[in-house]
Amino acid sequence: MISSVAVVFVLVFIQVRNLSRTYYQIKDKNLELNNQNEMLKTLANIDHLTTLFNRKFLFEYGEQAIKNAQFVKKRLAFAMINLEDFDYVLERLGRNQADNVLQELSNMFLKIKRKDDIVIRYGGSEFIIIFDDIRPDLDFQNLMSRYRERTKLSMSIDGEEFILSYNTGVAFMPDDGNDVRALVEKADRALNQAKREGKGKIKFYGNLEEVTNTQRLKV
């Protein structure tokens, strides 16, 4: 009788051990799959050339950033940046060198940005920077001027020095809206005005003549 109980006990023990081993194997496999899924999600939000965040990330993260800012009552800035004469660089130096320019500029942005600011490659030669916590005492015009000065790229084209700079259009949250798409659109309109005025210009959506005229009509 004791022998039979011992045999049953051993068989049960072996079965439990096998089940336990199977459980942990499945758990480890699920953990591995979860890690792979998270990695794929991360890669889907990264621009392969510059390793900056991409447009997909902008619209996913941007909404959350706005919600967080609204909760703690802080102000954000969406700055859209467009490289001047990038098509000329592409034409004269070729795709590989032009890509190197984009990578170098991206690294510059990452080095000088504030801790919680997010740099995004919007597409082509356009970037968007989401500036976090824009306090009333911050001279944002001066901040963007310093960005531009510290990220001027110098290169040689046909034996002559060429400096690549950029124009910038800026929209603020909540001043100009509380929606990512609206803020990006308004930053783009400000950028277009900057382009019309020349090179190295910084324009704020709230200061555009069309916006000012609309506000006057409402009054």
- Count Cβ atoms below 10 Å from residue 53 Cβ, excluding itself: 21
Q: Residue 219: its pLDDT value, please?
A: 38
Question: What are the structure tokens assigned to 13, written together?
Answer: 């023990």
Confidence at residue 136, expressed as pLDDT on a 0 to 100 scale: 83
Residues 68-99: tens digit of each pLDDT = 999 999 999 999 999 988 999 999 989 999 99
pLDDT (0 to 100) of residue 41: 47
Query: In 3D, which of 174, 157, 154 has the Cα closest to residue 67?
Result: 174
Of 165, 170, 163, 208, the C-alpha closest to 187 is 170
* Count of other CB atoms within 10 angstroms of residue 204: 24
* Phi, psi angles (nearest 5°) of residue 61: -75, -35
Residues of the chain with pLDDT under 70: 1-43, 210-219
Amino acid at 12: V
What pLDDT digit, counting tens, does each position of 109-134 carry? Answer: 999 998 899 999 999 999 999 999 99
pLDDT of residue 9: 56
Distance CA 26, CA 32 (A): 10
- Tokens standing for 134? 């824009």
Q: Whole-structure pTM over 0.95, yes or no? A: no
User: Considering only CA atoms, which of 132, 147, 127 is closest in space to residue 57?
Assistant: 127
Q: Is the dihedral of CA 42, 46, 51, 54 positive or negative?
A: negative
Beta bridge partners of 204: 170
**Cβ contact 119:101 at 8 Å:** no
**What was the pLDDT predicted at 210?**
63
Give ∠ CA 130-40-78 in degrees, rounded to 5.
10
pLDDT of residue 7: 56
